Amino acid sequence: MNGTVEPILTVEHLTMRFGGLVAVDDLSFSARPGDITALIGPNGAGKTTVFNCITGFYKPTVGMIRLAHPDGKTFLLERLLDFRISQRARGSRTFQNIRLFQGMTVLENLMVARHNPLMLASGFTLFGMLGLRTFTNAERAAIDMAKYWLDKIGITSRADDPAGDLPYGAQRRLEVARAMCTEPVLLCLDEPAAGLNARESAELNELLLFIRAEHATSILLIEHDMSVVMEISDHIVVLDYGVKIADGAPAAIRDDPRVIAAYLGVDDEEIADVEAEVGT
């Protein structure tokens, strides 16, 4: 691999225990800037736990998670409070079960994502109360950014409808757009294609590829849908029972016998046979 580029995300020796259960065991991997990195593995492999550690919902038992900005600033995520990860370190995420603000409109959802810049522009509410220009300008800019993303995900016409009223696929895309409105350096997507039909899934792929192409945002995603993973990711990390079993480019992962074994549930002894079959 290209060792000259500094990785955007470096996870080192990450371990997460819940009581006696080891959900993630000494996991190390890194994600390069501009890449779409996929974290895959069978159910219960610990993928979401890794996400929760990266985005600050869990404090890892052991380990270090470093996020490096293109300008050289680095953040140790395991030391930051969850909201600071989005605010300072610019790591944003979506959820497996969509977490939109259902009772707020689509536009409001995107405006909430602009909370921090708007708070600053409103002089922590004071300028906003007075209706000063700095705030109204910032608000207009936020609406423009929202419009941009609404256009990209194709729901501009529904901007004033409650988010809970959107079809499922649009809700998924809105959640991605909302995360993008925080202008993240790293976007973590937890099974963004779950429950989508083929067409919606294709639309989502397009959106992710657009983000990679047009924005300085690297993507880390958890996904079950192999067609999505293989089609769009640049780099894949495979977890099984909290342990990394493979790490590499999609083509290499596709043929990795350990990955096949993990997915098909083959015993350890049989891996040798599988390896022989695949011809490695």
Partner 1 sequence: MSRAAHPGKRPLDILAALKSAVLAALVAFGLFSLLIGLRTDQGPTGALVLTERFGELGAFVAVAFVGVFLRELLLRDKRIDIVRFVPPVVTAAARRIIPFVGPALLVFALVVPVMFFHNRYLLDLSIQILTYVMLGWGLNIVVGLAGLLDLGYVAFYAVGAYSYALLAQNFGLGFWICLPLAGILAAFWGVLLGFPVLRLRGDYLAIVTLAFGEIIRLVLTNWQSFTGGPNGISGIARPSFFGLPFTDGEGGFAATFGLEFTPTHRVVFLYYLILALALVTNIVTVRLRRLPIGRAWEALREDEIACRTLGINTTNTKLTAFAIGAMFGGFAGSFFATRQGFISPESFVFGESALVLAIVVLGGMGSQIGVAVAAAVMLGGFEFFREFQQYRMLVFGFAMVGIMIWRPRGLVATRMPSVFLKERKIVAAEFVAEGRG
Partner 2 sequence: MEIFVQQLINGITLGSIYGLIAIGYTMVYGIIGMINFAHGDVFMVGAFLALIAFLALVAIGVTAVPLALFLVLLIAMALTSLYGWTVERLAYRPLRHSFRLAPLISAIGMSIVLQNYVQIAQGARVKPLPPLIQGGYTLIDNDVFIVRLSNVQILVVVTTLALMAVFSWVIARTRLGRDMRACEQDLKMASLVGVDVDRTISLTFVIGAALAAVAGIMTLLYYGVIDFYIGFVAGVKAFTAAVLGGIGSLPGAMLGGLLIGLIETFWSAYFSSEYKDVAAFSILIIVLIFLPTGILGRPEIEKV
Site string for partner 2, 38-77 (x = CB under 8 A): ----------x---x----x--------------------
Given partner 2, partner 1, none, residue 44, with its beta carbon under 5 to 8 Å by kind, binds none
Distance in angstroms (rounded) separating the CA atoms of residues 148 and 132: 25
How many CA atoms, within 13 angstroms, populate the side-chain half-sphere of residue 36? 23
- Judged on CB neighbours under 10 Å (0-12, 13-18, 19+), 88 is middle
Q: Which two tokens stand for residue 274?
A: 């599988």
The beta-carbon contacts of 200-204 under 8 Å, at least 24 apart in sequence, are 200/168, 200/169, 200/172, 201/225, 201/227, 201/228, 203/154, 203/169, 203/173, 204/169, 204/172, 204/173, 204/176, 204/228
- Identify which of residues 32 and 147 has a Cβ nearer to partner 1 in the complex: 147
Q: Applying CB under 8 A, which of residues 22, 64, 132, 143 lies at the interface with partner 1?
A: 143
Q: Is 99 in the site for partner 1 (CB under 8 A)?
A: yes
Residue 141 lies near partner 1 (rule: CB under 8 A): no
**For partner 2, how many residues bind (rule: CB under 8 A)?**
5
Binding residue for partner 2 (CB under 8 A) from 1, 5, 6, 18?
A: 18
- CB-wise, 19 or 131, nearer to partner 2? 19
Rule CB under 8 A: say whether 83 interacts with partner 2: no
Exposure letters 94-132 (e unless 16+ CB within 10 A, then b)? bbeebebeeeebbbbbbbebbeebbeebbeeeebbeeee
- Tell whether residue 92 is a contact of partner 2 (CB under 8 A): no
What separation, in Å, do the N-terminal and C-terminal C-alpha atoms of the chain show? 20
Selected binder of partner 1 within 64, 118, 209, 245 (CB under 8 A): 118
Q: How far is the CB of 220 from partner 2 (least distance, A)?
A: 16
Quick one: DSSP state of residue 58? S
- The footprint of partner 1 (CB under 8 A) covers 55-57, 82-87, 92-93, 95, 99-105, 107-108, 111-116, 118-119, 122, 124-125, 128-129, 135, 143, 147, 156, 159-165, 178-179, 182
- The footprint of partner 2 (CB under 8 A) covers 18, 48, 52, 57, 95
